[in-house]
Homo-oligomer: A and B are copies of this chain.
Amino acid sequence: MERVRISIVGASGYVGGELLRLLLRHPYVEIAQVTSESHAGEPVHRVHPHLRKATGLTFCRMADLKPCDVLFIALPHGQVAPRIEAFAALAPVLVDLSADFRLRRPEDYARWYGHPHPHPEWLSRFVYGLPERYRAELRGARAISGVGCNATAAILALWPLVQADLLDPERPVIVDIQAASSEAGREPNPGSHHPERHGAIRPYAPVQHRHTAEVRQALGREGVVLSLTAVDAVRGVLAIAHAWPRDRIAEPELWRIYRAAYGEEPFIRLVKDRQGVHRLPDPKAVVGSNFADVGFAVEEETGRIVALCALDNLMKGAAGSAVQSLNIAMGWPETTGLDLIPVYPA
């Protein structure tokens, strides 16, 4: 079989590095070009030290891109939408990992991103690249939007409860999210400076986090709010969702519901043991892999359900889900190139 030719726009960021880690070992593809405006002409390993000896590629400029089969776009938010027609002219299949095409309704985009979408007609052409939620739509898709890492953790924790229509519609679900530092990308900023971030437990967006929109869209439910805190880890997101059921529910019934929802999923692991250090999801156990660990607990006294999801923000929360979605879109076995076992402990 001839390999599909893939180019990556904006390949010098962390998501770009992670896409390369996956696609350089993917048996059905080959990397044609990788772009970086600030590193054009430099070997990829100058920026991505892990890729030394794994690739001899050199960054080129976006202007030098040639047509290819699949174009991955890993540019910062807001830089894709204005160029979408140009990107579409380069490849029949687009996978955009920015936030520009995650929302379906132009009014949602305008509300959460503070300005009208420059190409609203494209919003409905994209499929949200979360196979556990949109697998059917991803088959044969030609435009796939990447997922928000925090949103993915929240959605995967809650989807079985929503799908089973278990939750009290009157009471909002509150999702506390704890996130690692690679989430904010490669660009240094005062908050990412090591002396400031090391050991921090820093409320970042206790209200009005933008990923709220993706979560509500995927769950089909307005009553969800997020709260984001930054902690001292490089990879990982943990979502802790506090939800109130219509009626008291016991843990065995929740087991049934989560198993029904995720039992066949190749990358979801149900983690809920009675004891042990690893009895509930912890992003540390999925580092470097495409697994999302999902678990739950019920507070007998109050009925509160706590639904948890831990994932690697650069994998299941970005590059991993994107490749998984591409596999589905192209009709390849869904786990191709993604059957990596987490690196533990790391």
Contact = CB atoms under 8 A, between A and B. Distances in A.
A278 B194 contact: no
A196 B182 CA distance: 9
A226 to B, nearest CB: 10
A236 interface: yes
Given A46-B276, A273-B46, A178 B201 contact: yes
A304 interface: yes
A25 B286 CA distance: 17
The oligomer's copy count stands at 4
Contacts of A342: 49-50
A202 interface: yes
A181 B52 CA distance: 26
A110 interface: no
Give the most central of A181, A202, A208, A300: most B CB within 10 Å.
A202
A318 interface: no
Q: Is the interface of A mostly helix, strand, loop or mixed?
A: loop
Contact of A48 (B236, B299, B344): B344
Contacts of A172: 302, 304
Interface string A22-56: 00110000000000000000000010111111100
A7 to B, nearest CB: 19
A227 B240 contact: yes
Nearest to A282: B202
Nearest to A224: B302
Interface stretch (A75-83, A131-139, A158-166, A185-193): A185-193
B235 A346 contact: yes
A316 to B, nearest CB: 13
A195 B14 contact: yes
Contacts of A310: 201
21 contacts: A14-B195, A49-B278, A52-B269, A172-B304, A174-B304, A188-B189, A188-B192, A188-B193, A199-B236, A201-B283, A202-B282, A203-B281, A203-B282, A203-B295, A207-B300, A208-B300, A225-B299, A225-B304, A227-B306, A235-B346, A343-B343
Interface of A: 14, 17, 21, 24-25, 46, 48-54, 171-172, 174, 176, 178, 180-182, 186-203, 206-208, 225, 227, 229, 231-238, 240, 242, 269, 271, 273, 276-278, 280-289, 291, 293, 295, 297-302, 304, 306, 308, 310, 339-346
